Amino acid sequence: MDLVEEYNLAKTGKEKRRVIISILGESASSFAGRHGFTISKVCQQLRAGRCKIVSKVGITRDKKSGLYLSWSAMRARCYSKNNIGYNNYGGRGIRVCYSWFTSYDAFVNDMGASYEAGKTLDRIDNSKGYNKENCRWATRQEQGQHTARVKLTVDKVLDIRRRREAGAKIVDLAKEYRVSYTHMKYIIYNKVWKNAERTIIS
């Protein structure tokens, strides 16, 4: 009896879970999360005996999964001029590697195993584009700190605070230094870069 037949003959959920782990090397929920599929679709493919190619059979992706949303958002901010983040990405030459741009499966193969819910796609070198060698998963806090370290120096932070005190608009400073409006506020009000000498903002 092969594993697929054993799966179909299993009578209890516990027995089915044991066989799934034997087939996939992990639980159905873990596999589904990494590949952007629904659990029901994974189980459907297992019942059909297609478990060996479950990630390549063209089943419908769960478009609400974090992995799928990360892939979709990455492409949009690099290529859609209507996207709110385009000016900080596609507008300054940041591109997605060909394999990721043309194939969700390629993105999953490279980044799916390390994906964790709640983390976002982060470029290690912010001057370069999206590809396997230059990307990692990071929390929002880790990503914000990394972005600031790459783009800013203590001198620039002090200059930002002085210019804001002189009347410069936060939105203009954010565009100039290529950081989000929220992160620029954090810089100005000493929420980040606390080691830099602060200029008091009235």
Which three-class secondary structure string do you get for 104-157? HHHHHHHHCCCCCCCCEEEECCCCCCECHHHEEEECHHHHHHHHHHHHCCHHHH
The b/e string for 121-133 (b: 16+ C-beta within 10 A; e otherwise) is bbbeebeebbeee
24-33, 51-60, 162-171, 190-199 — most confident range: 162-171
Predicted confidence (pLDDT) per residue in 182-202, tens digit: 888 989 988 888 877 644 443
**CA–CA gap between residue 30 and residue 20 (Å, rounded):** 11
Predicted confidence (pLDDT) per residue in 47-68, tens digit: 665 444 344 333 334 555 778 8
Average pLDDT of the segment spanning 139-155: 69
Q: What pLDDT score does 21 carry? A: 67
The length of the chain in residues reads: 202
**CA–CA gap between residue 182 and residue 194 (Å, rounded):** 16
Q: Contact 140/120 with Cβ under 8 angstroms?
A: yes
Query: Which of 5-9, 178-182, 183-187 is predicted with the least confidence, judged by mean pLDDT?
Result: 5-9
Report the chain's mean pLDDT, rounded to a whole number: 76
